[in-house]
Amino acid sequence: MNPIAPAAPTSGPFLKPATPATDPAASRRRTTGGHRRRWLSTGLGLAAALTLGAGGLPLPSAAQDLPPQPADPAVVPVYIGTYTSGDSEGIYLYEFNTETGVLRQAGLAAPLTNPSFLAFHPTERWLYAVSEVAQFEGGSTGSVAAFEVNDDGTLELLNQVASGGGGPCHLVVDATGAAVLVANYGGGSVASLPILDDGRLGDAASVHQHEGSSVNERRQQRPHAHSINLSPDNRFAYAADLGIDQVRIYRFDSESGRLEVNDPPGVALPPGSGPRHFTFHPNGRFAWVINELLSTVSTLLHDAGTGAMTVTDGVSTLPEGFDGNNSTAEVVLHPNGRFLYGSNRGHNSIAVFAVDPDDGSLEFIEHQPTLGDHPRNFVIDPTGQWLIAANQNSDNLTVHRIDPTTGRLEQVGQPVAAPSPNCVRFTPTR
């Protein structure tokens, strides 16, 4: 069975970036309320944010000053993190119509080298982005950038600090807004960065280096922390490490902003799994980790008292008989808690599962093509009506309507051009 063929994007080329910083992870990537209202009040739309390039093709750029247009409450901002080794300059702003599913380019929100993952502060005043590089200010580390969200949706850089390890690829803001937690793929470490009163980041309050390896000689010779997530009660942090086949567990103190190794310190996955991303059910009783190397999703039972995890189940993300190359990437739970979604890079699809409410086990529903190549990330909008997928290698985004009863996906419209998209983020609330 062959991979699902990608579709061509429907809009033109993007501005060329400035020369990016050193990025040794490039080959790995290619082969395997208040601010929303102010944004709407500016009437930022496609016409207000596009310039014309050669041949009259639209190019995303910083928003231009045009007369205000009537606000449309159905239109919301969407931010796209990218890799800048090709045609991207940084973080891009799009506008999304929650009634029609139409997604449009709005412009460059902020320049940054390899902003491959984004996270909002709970207040929505600030956005944080990794800069997935190996060197920052002369040290062997990547960085995390803090931005203020302007009224027009563009981003203003506040500051940038070391991430505590090379190649940061994932971050999260804790529920109180006290700290950013970051996972460093290249360095195999995790760190906590305090958030100051003005949204800027302080130097790392804690850094933890992972140790070990696993059975895949090409991908698991050393630790590769691939994500970090917090429990629903904000007390424990879980770092999926692809290189050592473990989810490492930390206690998190929002007062000090520090991470401390938990007892037990982690949970092991089957050898060669390559755990990548992780998500909780809001009930806090179970969670799931998507395993990049085996193309599986594992169900874990959670002890809210001790933070311990127990692996109970595992299902494939691929159809029976698929014999092509594949690696998984993102895993997202629907806001209603009934459906789980995971992306396949190679098969180029979103796998859809029903969640058993008693034990968190998964039952396969369908595969939905992403109409692109290498769907590295996707997001479900806060209302649970729409899924937007980011196809990294085909430079496009696709929109899918979600059936709230069955969980099934229906592709809407045609792919929308985006330069090497790797992360899609709505503001947390509507």
- Phi first, then psi, for residue 68 (nearest 5°) are -60, 140
pLDDT in tens, 237-261: 999 999 999 999 999 999 999 999 9
Tokens representing 262 are 């938990």
In sequence order, the 6+-apart residues with CB closer than 8 A to the CB of 97 are: 72, 74, 75, 103
186 has pLDDT over 80 = yes
pLDDT in tens, 257-299: 999 999 999 999 999 999 999 999 999 999 999 999 999 999 9
Average pLDDT over residues 300-321: 97
116 has pLDDT over 90 = yes
In sequence order, the 6+-apart residues with CB closer than 8 A to the CB of 249 are: 236, 237, 238, 239, 261, 262, 264, 265, 266, 267, 307, 308, 309
Distance CA 180, CA 406 (A): 35
Residue 11: what pLDDT? 43
The whole-chain average pLDDT of the chain stands at: 88
- Least confident stretch, 48-52, 62-66, 403-407: 48-52
Distance CA 372, CA 389 (A): 9
- Least confident stretch, 55-59, 70-74, 338-342: 55-59
91 bridge partner residues: 110
12 has pLDDT over 50 = no
Q: Predicted confidence band at 73 (pLDDT cuts at 50, 70, 90)?
A: confident
Residue 289: what pLDDT? 98
- Least confident stretch, 52-61, 96-105, 152-161: 52-61
Average pLDDT over residues 17-23: 38
CATH superfamily, with its number, for domain 26-426:
YVTN repeat-like/Quinoprotein amine dehydrogenase (2.130.10.10)
3-state secondary structure the chain: CCCCCCCCCCCCCCCCCCCCCCCCCHHHHHHCCHHHHHHHHCCCCHHHHEEECHHHCEEECCCCCCCCCCCCCCEEEEEEEECCCCCCCEEEEEEEECCCCCEEEEEEEEECCCCCCEEECCCCCEEEEEECCCCECCECCCEEEEEEECCCCCEEEEEEEECCCCCEEEEEECCCCCEEEEEECCCCEEEEEEECCCCCECCCCEEEECCCCCCCCCCCCCCCEEEEEECCCCCEEEEEECCCCEEEEEEEECCCCEEEEEEEEEEECCCCCCEEEEEECCCCCEEEEEECCCCEEEEEEECCCCCCEEEEEEEECCCCCCCCCCEEEEEEECCCCCEEEEEEECCCEEEEEEECCCCCCEEEEEEEECCCCCEEEEEECCCCCEEEEEECCCCEEEEEEECCCCCCEEEEEEEEECCCEEEEEECCCC
430 has pLDDT over 70 = no
The pTM score is 0.87
Which comes out higher in pLDDT, residue 218 or 47?
Answer: 218
Residue 40: what pLDDT? 37
Place of tokens 């050898």: 271
394 has pLDDT over 60 = yes
Residue 341: what pLDDT? 99
213 has pLDDT over 90 = yes
Residue 137: what pLDDT? 96
185 has pLDDT over 80 = yes
Average pLDDT over residues 333-344: 98
Residue 268: what pLDDT? 98
How far from the centroid of its chain's Cα atoms is residue 274's Cα? 17
b/e map of 413-425 (b: 16 or more CB within 10 Å)? eebbbbbbbbbbb
Residue 36: what pLDDT? 36
Tell me the CA end-to-end span of the chain in Å, nearest whole number: 41
Q: Taking a C-beta distance cutoff of 8 angstroms, is the pair 229, 278 a contact?
A: yes
Domain map of the chain by residue range?
26-426
Which comes out higher in pLDDT, residue 26 or 343?
Answer: 343
Average pLDDT over residues 17-43: 39
Residue 244: what pLDDT? 98
Q: Predicted confidence band at 70 (pLDDT cuts at 50, 70, 90)?
A: low
Average pLDDT over residues 29-42: 38
140 has pLDDT over 70 = yes
